[in-house]
Every structure is written in structure tokens, then in C-alpha cells.
Amino acid sequence: MTFTRSHLLIACALAGSFALSACSKQDQSANQDTLTANTPATGEASTLSERNAQQRLISTLQQHLKTANINAKIVNVQATEVPNLYWVSLEGMPSIYATSDGKYIIQGDVIRLGDKQLVSVGDALQATENKKLFAALKKEDLIVYPAKDGKAKHVIYVFTDASCPYCHKLHEHLDEITAKGIEVRYIAWPRGEQFMPTMEAVWCSQDRKAAFTQAVQGQPVQAAQCKNPVREQYQLGLNIGVNGTPAIYNTNGEYLGGYLTPDELVKRLK
């Protein structure tokens, strides 16, 4: 199949997979050093060699994307544990893999075999990026439900949409979740343009918590238009590969799952 610009953009927007306990958009580890291309993953490379390898790959890959009429800006590249395979961060799109010569890109998961459980090679790298992005969020731009008694053992970030049934189920368990010492931070992620006005109205309400609960119950939310972060938060979700709600992450940027019961959530966090 010929790979076109539209294939990349569509596949990037839909990259990643979620369990059935998440509403789809339609229905709505350790840091890894950057190595030179010919250095094995267990070896060490000088800082200068690392930078040169990075710049060569960025330049080559960016030119190949341009030749293919793919408008994608490369933000960063990092070596993976797979020899000659790099993790490439793109502006406004989920990350992809690229070979060290910049001639081939891979979308989706690269899975490590050999253990009882399958491991996605990019999980740790994506989590590192996510952690930075979550840390940069302002609490005043989110809907925050503190842990009961103010004693937070854990903090989770939840991409949510008031129209999503599984988000409704999670929302119904908020008291139980916060009672277990978990602070919940909602990030707006309307699953389609038709859901954008409701989420913007929620975020523009003086009492966002009450407005979100109202929207979850199917009641209209009336609020004056305001400058709000909903579209930016939606784009954030796209950047890290969100394609359904709820999407739950811990503060380390690790994806915990879609809808989880309070007990399941505690187990994942441990």
C-alpha cells in the first residue's frame, strides 16, 4: 500500500489502543540515553556523537517527510532498546519509530518478547514525555477532586468527556476513589467536535464540578463563552496517543487504563 500524507495523519490521530472499558473517539521507566546509530543499546556514546547522530537522523527524516508531502515537525529523537531504531517525537502528533538511516518509519507498537508479559518498547519513552507534559499543566485549568482529608497518596490524570458512558461510571465512584487517598484531575477531551461546546461550557462555568456533574446527568450546561483550555487539552491528548475516554495516567506519565473500579485503580497505582 502506498503511504500517503493522509495515512500518516489519520493513523497518528488514531494511534494506540484502549480496552473496551473506554469510550472511543468515534462513538463517542527508566530514561534511555540517545546513542549513535551504530552503537549497541548496551554501550556508551560520547555526548558529541549522540548529538551528531540525532541531528543527522532529524535532518534526513525531516527531508524524507517533506519529499512525501507530510507536514510533520520533528521535536526530538531518542534511541530505543532495539538496535538502530529510534523513538521520534512529532509536534501535534503521537510519536513514531524510525530506523537510524531515516528511510523507514513505524507506527504502532514494537513489542519485546521473551518475558511472560508483552512489553511495548515505547511505553517508557512515552511515559517520560507524558510526565513532563502533565507537570506543565496548571491546576486551575483542570477540574480537581482532592483526596479526602487532604491526604493524597496518589494523583491521577483523567482525560474525560461528559458524553462518555464509561466516564459517567468513573464519575459515580469519585467519592470512593478520593476516600482511598487518590486525587483526581480531569482533563477535557471531547470525543468529537459535536461535544466541544458542552465541555467548553463546563470549563467556562464558575463551578466546574457542578457543571460537569450536570452535563454527565444529561442536563444542558449554560455558561458565557470564555477563554478556556479545552482545545489545548484535546490536542495534548492527541499528542500522547489518547483515542478514547476515560484515559487514566499516573504522575509518572504511565497509562493505567480506561475505566477502572476504585479497587482496580488502587492495584494499578501500587
Beta pairing partners, 105: 98
The answer to whether the beta carbons of residues 90 and 9 sit under 8 Å apart is no
Residue predicted with more confidence, 110 or 151: 110
Catalytic residues: 161, 164, 167, 191
The answer to whether the beta carbons of residues 99 and 85 sit under 8 Å apart is yes
DSSP letter, residue 252: T
Query: pLDDT tens, 65-108?
Result: 999 998 989 988 999 999 999 999 998 888 999 999 999 999 98
Domain annotation for the chain: domains and CATH numbers: 34-121 (3.10.450.70), 138-269 (3.40.30.10)
pLDDT at 147 over 50: yes
- What integer pLDDT is reported at residue 21 of this predicted model? 55
Amino acid (1-letter code) at residue 87: W
Residue predicted with more confidence, 244 or 39: 244
Hey, what's the torsion of the CAs at 162, 241, 247, 123, to 10 degrees? -170
What mean pLDDT comes out for the span 152-164? 97
Question: Residue 115: phi, psi to the nearest 5?
Answer: -105, 175
156 pLDDT tier (thresholds 50, 70, 90): very high
What mean pLDDT comes out for the span 199-228? 97
- What integer pLDDT is reported at residue 48 of this predicted model? 81
Query: pLDDT tens, 11-63?
Result: 444 333 334 457 876 544 333 333 323 333 433 445 787 778 888 999 999 99
10 pLDDT tier (thresholds 50, 70, 90): very low
The answer to whether the beta carbons of residues 105 and 60 sit under 8 Å apart is no
Q: Are strands 182-188 and 154-160 parallel, antiparallel or unpaired?
A: parallel
Say how far apart CA 189 and CA 193 lie, in whole Å.
Answer: 10
The answer to whether the beta carbons of residues 253 and 128 sit under 8 Å apart is yes
- What integer pLDDT is reported at residue 93 of this predicted model? 85
pLDDT at 264 over 60: yes
DSSP letter, residue 259: S
- What integer pLDDT is reported at residue 20 of this predicted model? 44
- What integer pLDDT is reported at residue 46 of this predicted model? 55
Residue predicted with more confidence, 270 or 137: 137
The answer to whether the beta carbons of residues 14 and 243 sit under 8 Å apart is yes
CA distances from 179 to 98, 152, 153, 257, 267 (A): 44, 9, 10, 20, 15
- What integer pLDDT is reported at residue 76 of this predicted model? 87
Chain mean pLDDT for the chain: 85
Residue predicted with more confidence, 195 or 30: 195
- What integer pLDDT is reported at residue 213 of this predicted model? 97
**Grid cell of 211 as nine digits:** 457543571
Amino acid (1-letter code) at residue 214: Q
pLDDT at 254 over 90: yes
Q: Are strands 143-145 and 182-188 parallel, antiparallel or unpaired?
A: antiparallel
Beta pairing partners, 77: 88
Beta pairing partners, 215: none
Is pTM beyond 0.95 here? no
**Grid cell of 121 as nine digits:** 518498547
Q: Which residues of 139-152 are buried (b: 16+ CB within 10 A; e: fewer)?
A: eebbbebebbeeee
What mean pLDDT comes out for the span 149-174? 95
pLDDT at 246 over 80: yes
